[in-house]
Structure 1
């Protein structure tokens, strides 16, 4: 009987390994950038075409590789970072697994150009699907240039699962930001389709964060610094008033490696307890330095998750250090108040006893007597000019004089003849009287109850308004005609590069809903017109939630994008639960809902109303 188990060929094993290492073009960017950092480069260029599907190229000025190393680096389990198993718990570099380059070469066309500083000539390699097709000597500058072309060319199924260029490039930018933030001592440049997207000069951590996320980021940063035997914490947290709905600007770096940790994130949220609105997330850029032997970074293929030896102590230190930083810079509320110097006792009055005020009261004064008494100065000053005198005859009238002639007026009124009170006709016709009976009622500021012929209908006011706004926005985007209200003072809204790219992506759809953009700068936009039903105070919140929704997933087709924009705007602008509606607003809500094409469900496929028939009520009372 023949053997069933057999060893896989190397090229097949490499393709299987690539499934774990290379998930999308951003995975290639991460591996190549980390290799460039480990090579000791001081300047790294990332060149991307078609969101990495056509080309991902990383050029560095590091130490380069010899001819032998340039061949060995594409073999499986080949690495220069570890020699023994114990080295896995004492890592000071990034790329150590030894499968990344072999996996990349198995699913793409790879071109490598490298040269060491002491050598006169470098090495030029070309690999296609794990096969070396060319190797020659070339005149090259110091460093390494690694080009990955036609990713997943021999695995079409994996290529078909890639998202749109916008989504894939957003993932590339995320990896680029993470590596560049961890190494502010290295200059980074990013080109996409020939355009320069980022140019980050060498600087400190604060300058690197500001260069990536815009100039307005500097004013919201609060420095955090703590040094203990367990961990050394540096970095910044954002002030509570700059909290956002999404979790975009949240970064943990452990030993200069970006990680994701829900446990540490909970520690940060605990430090902000009582300072944030519901649903808001703070921004933070925290760098943790721990002894390498106290962490295990080899528990996940992408090395973004880390296991700590003493998580509880780390949690407590991180939470207390952030609380201390927020309190030190007067961000957290305190019981102390600033003392006003104007309230201090003057020096000349110091030591004197307070003099109690005295009040003299004329107990014999009666304002209702008609006796001839002198008029008080306060009364004179209030109603007469200085120098005016009042005689007794002028003040002789008493309160009884106010009622003189009342009898005559009463008699004249009594002689008035009124018209007959007989009703000659109805102001409303019978149909309008019937409609008046069907009045709407609001229950718990959440539901609208309206009677119908068969019973009653109970409407969820929030979902109903979402359906009305959704169809309205979608119609405006499709027809490309919407009313806009011009602002007397245009709004200036600041965003980072990723958010600006998303706003530009959906600019046409937003203009069709009524927005008017007069300027797009590198870190802000200027809005001079708004849709009719959007208040000026809601613009920043609306665009922030819209960006958050689109960052989750940017649709490929324009119709899907318009649908997502309409849904997001409807959700943001819909009347909230707990809002008191007038009778007219309730009536308009009901009429607008049943005028929609699909009034039964909200844009998110949830029911907008339920009906209760009279028979159902009779059954309940028959029990």
Structure 2
């Protein structure tokens, strides 16, 4: 039997490694930007075409490479970060595995221009599918200029599984966001199809957070700073009112490296217990300084997971630090009076003048308030309307007559009888006492119903459910889901007939968002305007709402758009596929408030009529049941003793 084990060619081995390192265009951007940071760059520019499918260009002003280093950098396991196995336990650089450039070159056409500060000329290297096409001298600026073209051109299956440009761009923005937060001392610029998306100048951490997440977050940040022998924690957490239902504002960094750590995330959420809703997530931007020997950053190919040697102790420190910061934020400052210019009063010493004594008050021991005449004679005052003795005496005599007989009055017998009818526990609702009254007259008076009038056939229960009798039994309607169905089909009808009417706002509303949320809203503004919105892009990350669909009535447009963005985060989708249907769904859901709303009888009747004018009245836009009918047989079984 012949031997069957063989060594793979380098090109195949590189493609296999690329499957772990290069998952999508965002992976390429992350690896090359991290290399620029390790090269001491202070300015990094990223240019993209078609969300990285066609072009990814990363330009930095770092140290650059010599011609030999430039050539060796594309070999597998070639790195300048580690030399010995012990170096793996003292890693502080971003890239160290030596597989990034080799993996990228295996699945793309790559071109590198680089020059060191001490060199007069730089180096230009062109590589296709791991094969070096050319290497020559070239005039270029200091640093590195990587250009990656046609990603996955030689692996059609991988290229086919890439998402839409919008989805891939979102992943790239997330990676840049993480890196920019960890390195606020570096300026970043991100261009997509010649349009600038990020322009982040060098700043401090708080300013960098504001630049990425909008000005509204600035007043919601609470500083955190704790230093122990195990871990040092700095950064910011969000105020409880800033907590959201979706994730996206939660960041952990260990030695300036972004990481995901569900165990530490639990420490944060536990610290917020009982001060935020159970379905919301607090925002946090926390940086950990840890001895590299106490953590392992090499447990995952993407290096987003880090293993801590003493996780339990770190958990308690993080939890206590967050609780402490929240406590400081909630403490009311004590009142401190200004003592400047105040007169200084010295304390009395024992050897001072004995003639000095405490002040005393003289009291008339013979004073009797009931002896009016004696009081007036000893303390004569001018006679006036208020201090007239005769008037005082007359008023005193009237006190008894004013209250006489009240304790002897009896409760009206008719009222007493009515009270007995409502004595049973739990019968505080007059409607519930109908079965316990022998005659209908008192009930009719209690319900304020005129003779001959008819009660409503609808019962509005707990401002949430609508109950009405039908032939087969009792119908129960979920009020909120019914409103969603009505609005959903109304929005679709507006699009179909192109008769959407915009209700212009007397005072336009302005909404400022973070970069990620702004890009998300910008992608659906055109579709939203088809529904009757009038939203205009004012400046970077700022939108002005001039009008809303008239079908929505009175609603907070800013809160509505924020709700739409949150729904889009929960359910990512391709804009080109069923855009109108999706926007109609999220508009219907976000337009219906979660709080329970009281409806008048006419409004309940109108809601019932509108619901059964819909094409599918029994199902909400999200596929949930709107109503249910309880058969008479089930009611009889329920009431059977």
> What TM-score, normalized by structure 2, do the two folds share?
0.79
> What displacement does 1:539 show?
2.7
Change (3 A) 1:103 1:585: same
Q: Does 1:541 align with 2:559?
A: yes
Aligned residue among 517, 530, 553 for 1:499: 517
| Distance in structure 2 (CA, Å) of the matches to 1:150 and 1:354 | 102
| Distance in structure 2 (CA, Å) of the matches to 1:270 and 1:354 | 63
SS in 1 for 2:323: helix
User: Is the CA contact (8 Å cut-off) linking 2:545 and 2:557 kept in structure 1?
Assistant: no
| Distance in structure 1 (CA, Å) of the matches to 2:238 and 2:640 | 61
User: Is the CA contact (8 Å cut-off) linking 2:564 and 2:586 kept in structure 1?
Assistant: yes
Partner of 2:330: 332
Aligned residue among 587, 595, 603 for 2:605: 587
Change (3 A) 1:487 1:102: same
Partner of 2:191: 191
User: Is the CA contact (8 Å cut-off) linking 1:167 and 1:553 kept in structure 2?
Assistant: no
Change (3 A) 1:352 1:308: farther
Question: Which whole-Å deviations, capped at 9, do the CAs of 1:268-326 have from their partners, x for residues lacking one?
Answer: 22333333244333222111110001111111121111111111221222222223223
Alignment of 1:118-197 (within 5 A): 118-197=118-197
Partner of 1:567: 585
Question: Which whole-Å deviations, capped at 9, do the CAs of 1:538-578 have from their partners, x for residues lacking one?
Answer: 33332222112223454334452222222222222225474
> What TM-score, normalized by structure 1, do the two folds share?
0.81
| Distance in structure 1 (CA, Å) of the matches to 2:46 and 2:572 | 23
| Distance in structure 2 (CA, Å) of the matches to 1:311 and 1:298 | 17
Unaligned runs of 5+ in 1: 342-346, 370-435
> What displacement does 1:83 show?
2.1
Unaligned runs of 5+ in 2: 339-343, 345-357, 371-391, 403-453
| Distance in structure 2 (CA, Å) of the matches to 1:61 and 1:575 | 51
| Distance in structure 2 (CA, Å) of the matches to 1:199 and 1:217 | 18
| Distance in structure 2 (CA, Å) of the matches to 1:5 and 1:102 | 24
User: Is the CA contact (8 Å cut-off) linking 2:109 and 2:148 kept in structure 1?
Assistant: yes
| Distance in structure 1 (CA, Å) of the matches to 2:177 and 2:615 | 45
Partner of 1:272: 272
Question: Which whole-Å deviations, capped at 9, do the CAs of 1:32-65 have from their partners, x for residues lacking one?
Answer: 0000001111211111111111111111111112
Alignment of 1:100-115 (within 5 A): 100-115=100-115
Aligned residue among 614, 623, 627 for 1:596: 614
> What displacement does 1:585 show?
3.0
Change (3 A) 1:591 1:353: farther
Identify which range, 229-238 or 1-10, moves more after superposition.
1-10
| Distance in structure 2 (CA, Å) of the matches to 1:71 and 1:608 | 66
User: Is the CA contact (8 Å cut-off) linking 2:246 and 2:569 kept in structure 1?
Assistant: no
| Distance in structure 1 (CA, Å) of the matches to 2:360 and 2:48 | 80
| Distance in structure 1 (CA, Å) of the matches to 2:537 and 2:575 | 26
Change (3 A) 1:187 1:473: same
Change (3 A) 1:60 1:553: farther
Alignment of 1:203-214 (within 5 A): 203-214=203-214
Partner of 2:505: 487
Identify which range, 222-231 or 34-43, moves more after superposition.
222-231
Alignment of 1:509-524 (within 5 A): 509-524=527-542
> What displacement does 1:338 show?
5.4
Question: Which whole-Å deviations, capped at 9, do the CAs of 1:426-481 have from their partners, x for residues lacking one?
Answer: xxxxxxxxxx7882224454432222223333222222222222212232344443
- Count of residues in correspondence between the two structures: 550
Change (3 A) 1:49 1:456: same
Alignment of 1:129-528 (within 5 A): 129-328=129-328, 331-332=329-330, 362-365=395-398, 439-528=457-546
SS in 1 for 2:578: helix
> What displacement does 1:95 show?
0.6
User: Is the CA contact (8 Å cut-off) linking 1:245 and 1:544 kept in structure 2?
Assistant: no
Identify which range, 32-41 or 602-611, moves more after superposition.
602-611
Change (3 A) 1:503 1:72: same
| Distance in structure 1 (CA, Å) of the matches to 2:4 and 2:599 | 74
Question: Which whole-Å deviations, capped at 9, do the CAs of 1:469-523 have from their partners, x for residues lacking one?
Answer: 2212232344443333333322222211221222221112222333222552223
Question: Which whole-Å deviations, capped at 9, do the CAs of 1:205-258 have from their partners, x for residues lacking one?
Answer: 222222223334333222221111111111122223333332222211110101
User: Is the CA contact (8 Å cut-off) linking 1:243 and 1:282 kept in structure 2?
Assistant: yes
SS in 2 for 1:91: coil
Change (3 A) 1:123 1:577: same
Change (3 A) 1:366 1:123: closer
Change (3 A) 1:354 1:488: farther
| Distance in structure 2 (CA, Å) of the matches to 1:621 and 1:289 | 66
> What displacement does 1:368 show?
9.0
SS in 1 for 2:330: coil
| Distance in structure 2 (CA, Å) of the matches to 1:168 and 1:450 | 50
SS in 2 for 1:74: coil
SS in 1 for 2:245: coil
| Distance in structure 2 (CA, Å) of the matches to 1:98 and 1:353 | 92
Change (3 A) 1:195 1:354: farther
User: Is the CA contact (8 Å cut-off) linking 2:89 and 2:292 kept in structure 1?
Assistant: yes
Question: Which whole-Å deviations, capped at 9, do the CAs of 1:325-352 have from their partners, x for residues lacking one?
Answer: 2333xx3256x775899xxxxx9xx989
> What displacement does 1:112 show?
1.0
Change (3 A) 1:577 1:503: closer
Change (3 A) 1:557 1:192: closer
SS in 2 for 1:363: helix
| Distance in structure 2 (CA, Å) of the matches to 1:591 and 1:3 | 79
